[in-house]
Amino acid sequence: MAEVFFISIITGVISGVLAGLILRFLPNNEKPHESPKPSKSLKIIMIALIIGFTVSAVSYFVFRSPDYESDIPITAITFDMTSMYLYVGSTETVTAIITPPNASNQTIAWSSSDSSVVDVNSIGVITAMSEGTAIITATATTGVSANCSVTVKELFIPVEYVPNMPIESIVGITLVLPNYAHPENATNRFIEWSIENAGGTNSSIIGNELNATSSGTVMIRATVINGETATTDFTQLFDITIRTAIVTGAAGNNITWTFDADSGILSFIGTGVMWDWERRNAPWSAYVSYVETVIIGNGITRVGNHSFSDHYNLHDVYISNSVTYIGLSAFMSSGLTSVSMPNVTHIEMAAFAFNRQLISVSMPNVVRIDNQAFSNTNSLTNVNFPNTLLRIDWYAFGSGNLTGTVVIPANVEYIGSAPFGGLGGTANSQLTDIVTPAGSSYFVSIEGVLFNRDVTRLHSYPAGRIGTHYEIPISVTHITRGAFINAVNLTSVIIRSNDIVFDGNVFRYYDGHSITITAPIGSTAHDYAISNGHHFVPLDA
């Protein structure tokens, strides 16, 4: 205010002086006979003072107006929004409203409480950097400020489906429903369950647990709040069939099956052979989630094809002394940890394949083990073959985890290709020796490598055999397909024969592993090495 008054006085003085100078040089119109009047100088002074005072007053009121104030401070800052939600990668501009709007210095300093979550530039453009919450602050030079809370979420990803949804349950058994929808990176995933139509089942849901007291079909609804969009729920309806707790049916011409849901026991009684089924097509497969134990009663002689395939909760099986035959894929991909087959003589193809928890097998009277019967049994590290065994078919224990030494009984007369092979990785890579007892009629082991009796055919080289180099005996005329499959330590082989026969792909690897083959130029081994991409070294080099 003092500055305005000073400017007004100066303006008045200057105006008065200028007016005085102008009037001083105006003509004098007084006449001699007229009465004496104030002197011209006095008039000039008076007029100049009047003009100066007037200009000072006008200047004072003009310059003290807010439109001309020389230093108007910011007294308050407000935002057009005090909170906001953003997705990672998005931007938004916050407008700072200044009071008064004509403040002299309108410079605003912008800052973020956590720039790793929210960044802000010099004009208030906000960028969402990562998930979290940060405070954006605008501060004036006078110290006044305003805040805006910014919450950042990951980019919205909608729900697509409900995973692992069961289609059936049993009266009196609690069915646990999925808690979360997929994909796993969906923004909102938690599922809220409700009964849409009980259908006479007297069903109820608490959390994600469904219970029913009567058989029938219940329709339930899955809801994910804001699962479809940021403001729209995801919903989906499902029908669940509720079955009675104890069910029974035919499993063969003279065989009956019974399932007790309370105990999880599936039992078979009768005589003769069980019928064959397609995969997961046996009538008790409807209860696959609940079957934990299987009892095959005395009098039954054969377990049918696919009888228990994919029974992933099946942990225990009791096979009676009357059973002599295990059918095709009968227990494939189940959850067995051990199996005892007292009088089983024939185990058919893939009967126990993909039982990844299987650690113990007892088969004291087995005669024949078909191809892939125990393939991909990753927990099975040891197997004992009985003297009754006559045949081990191809890949019978392939892609397993056998360790140490496997003993081939003296009476075995046939072994298929790669019975203990593996398809890359660590498959049977700890198997160091395949041996035969003295007096074996059909096979012989030399330094842990299996040959036919007269050493004309190299049959199986253990995948984990110690040593990087191996020389094939000169007597060998044939090498069985897959004989060196997944031999992880082997890097080079010497073959001195000119016309050795390769029965298909002998050195099979699936991880880029290559073998150096040293053999005579122009020999069959030379041709094999070149055609299969192995490094070849001339024998005499």
Give the mean pLDDT of 228-241.
93
Give the mean pLDDT of 397-406.
93
Between CA 108 and CA 103 the distance in angstroms is: 12
pLDDT > 80? residue 359: yes
Residue-level pLDDT at 243: 83
The string of pLDDT tens digits covering residues 316-334 is 999 999 999 999 999 999 9
Assign residue 402 a region (left: φ > 0; alpha: ψ between -120 and 50; beta: otherwise): beta
Q: Are strands 145-153 and 83-87 parallel, antiparallel or unpaired?
A: parallel
163 prior amide bond cis, ω within 30: no
Residue-level pLDDT at 150: 93
Q: Which has more pLDDT, 536 or 486?
A: 536
DSSP letter string over 31-71?
A: -TTSPP---HHHHHHHHHHHHHHHHHHHHHHHHTSGGG-S-
Residues whose CB falls within 8 Å of the CB of residue 167, separated by 6 or more in sequence, listed in order:
238, 239, 240, 241
The string of pLDDT tens digits covering residues 261-283 is 878 999 999 999 999 999 989 99
Between CA 361 and CA 331 the distance in angstroms is: 13
pLDDT > 90? residue 373: yes
231-252 core/surface letters (b: 16 or more CB in 10 A; e: else): eeebebebebbbbeeebeeebb
Residue-level pLDDT at 19: 56
Q: Which has more pLDDT, 24 or 161?
A: 161
Residue-level pLDDT at 46: 62
Residue-level pLDDT at 362: 97
Give the mean pLDDT of 364-375.
97
Give the mean pLDDT of 501-507.
90
Residue 18 main-chain phi, psi, to 5 deg: -60, -40
With 0-12 / 13-18 / 19 or more C-beta atoms within 10 angstroms meaning exposed / middle / buried, residue 168 is middle
Give the mean pLDDT of 115-125.
92
Residue 46 main-chain phi, psi, to 5 deg: -65, -45
Q: Which has more pLDDT, 424 or 495?
A: 495
Residue-level pLDDT at 416: 94
Residue-level pLDDT at 428: 82
Where residue 427 falls among pLDDT bands split at 50, 70, 90?
A: confident
Task: Please name which of 399, 424, 420, 417 lies closest in space to residue 509, comparing C-alpha atoms.
Answer: 424
Residue-level pLDDT at 67: 47
Q: Domains for the chain: give ranges and CATH numbers.
A: 2-28+37-68 (no CATH), 76-153 (2.60.40.1080), 168-243 (2.60.40.1080), 309-538 (3.80.10.10)
Task: Please name which of 146, 140, 59, 63 lies closest in space to residue 103, comparing C-alpha atoms.
Answer: 140
305-335 core/surface letters (b: 16 or more CB in 10 A; e: else): bbbbbbbeebbebebbebbbbbbbbbbbbbb
pLDDT > 60? residue 59: no
DSSP conformation class of 182: B
Beta bridge partners of 195: 220
Show the tokens assigned to 239.
């029908």
Contact 321, 296 (CB under 8 A): no
pTM above 0.85? no
Residue-level pLDDT at 87: 85
> Mapping DSSP to helix (H, G, I), strand (E, B) and coil, where does residue 138 land?
strand
DSSP letter string over 452-463?
A: ETTSSEEEE--T
Residue-level pLDDT at 169: 87
Residue 287 main-chain phi, psi, to 5 deg: -110, 25
Assign residue 533 a region (left: φ > 0; alpha: ψ between -120 and 50; beta: otherwise): left
Where residue 533 falls among pLDDT bands split at 50, 70, 90?
A: confident
pLDDT > 50? residue 227: yes
pLDDT > 60? residue 62: no
Residue-level pLDDT at 327: 97
Q: Which has more pLDDT, 540 or 260?
A: 260
Q: Give the rounded percent of residues in the chain with a pLDDT score beyond 70.
A: 85
Show the tokens assigned to 488.
């992880």
418-449 core/surface letters (b: 16 or more CB in 10 A; e: else): bbbbbbbeebbbebbbbbbeeebeebbbeebb
pLDDT > 90? residue 521: yes
Where residue 424 falls among pLDDT bands split at 50, 70, 90?
A: low
Q: Which has more pLDDT, 261 or 158?
A: 158
